[in-house]
Amino acid sequence: MELGDQRSSSNIEDRRGMGIGVGGGLGIGGIVIAIIAALLGYDPSAVLNTIEGASTSTESTKEAPRGAPGDEMGQFVSKVLGSTEDVWSAVFQKNGAAYRPPTLVLYSGAVRSACGLGQAAMGPFYCPNDEKLYVDLAFYDDLRRRFHAPGDFAQAYVIAHEVGHHVQKLTGSFRKLEQAGASARGASGVSVRMELQADCYAGVWGRSAAQRGLLDPGDVEEALTAATAIGDDRLQKQSQGYVVPDAFTHGSSAQRVRWFKRGMENGRPADCDTFSASSL
């Protein structure tokens, strides 16, 4: 990616190296974290117990620095976040609304959110309760080594996908997940439709980034490789040797690629209505 002239976002909270704070509750965000854990092979009940019991954790008295960090990766994610703010602010303005940007929280190991306790092994996540994205930058090493999806645009795609969840929060889609409850899972369930829509929204951002000259040759292929690597079918096959569509939470590799491409094709959020799609 070519982010040299891209402005950095100031909506960064750098909690790397800090302790886990107290506060928050389970809520729908905690359920989302548990779903992510189940996808990656963790026991979701154990995760929920950890989340609910985390109120006994020691709170750090140090206030997290805010603004764009000075290190290389901190600068990278702040510029990617800034580019998503520019794209979605323009989209919302076009539709007569104001975009409220999320905060990106950088952390290491584990983090307290308004949705409960998040752990690095679960990967990046979005908490609708506090409208924050949570990313342990060590995940990018996993993306490269474990998932064989290297490249800076693959890393940017991860952030754009989580921002897509924030767009869903602002537009009301998260209510669908709350209403679905335990029935959210499955190949055509609400959880999969939520994730595929976030992939499509990441594609909308990707098209705008390409038009603004932020992409290098091969960048889109990096994102497609990442989308393929974290499909439910691919991850299930790797972890247990077989695929169970009824347990899908994020969509298959082919679906994730398809919906990202759909967002990239025309850059229209209206094309990302996975909830009305008869076929995913």
Burial 7-45 (b: 16+ CB within 10 A, else e): ebbebbbbbbebbbbeebeebbbbbbbbbbbbbeebeee
Q: How confident is the model at residue 181 (pLDDT cuts 50, 70, 90)?
A: low
| Pairing mode, strands 110-113 and 103-107 | unpaired
SS3 of 161-181: the string is HHHHHHHHHHHCCHHHHHHHH
Is the dihedral angle over the CA atoms 171, 261, 240, 142 positive or is it negative? negative
Residues 139, 124: Cα–Cα separation, whole Å: 8
Residues 217, 210: Cα–Cα separation, whole Å: 10
pLDDT tens profile 219-245: 999 988 988 887 877 778 778 887 877
Residue 192: helix, strand or coil by DSSP? helix
Task: Answer whether residue 69 shows pLDDT above 90.
Answer: yes
Structure tokens at 268: 């229209």
Q: Which of 274, 252, 275, 276 is nearest to 263 (CA)?
A: 274
What predicted TM-score, i.e. pTM, was given to this entire model?
0.83
Q: What's the one-letter identity of residue 97?
A: A
pLDDT tens profile 109-154: 999 999 888 887 778 999 999 999 999 999 999 888 888 888 999 9
Rg (CA), the chain: 17
| 247 compared with 75, residue with greater pLDDT | 75
Q: What is the dihedral of CA 241, 250, 271, 212, to 10 degrees?
A: -90
Q: From the CB of residue 94, how many other CB atoms can be counted at a distance below 10 Å? A: 9
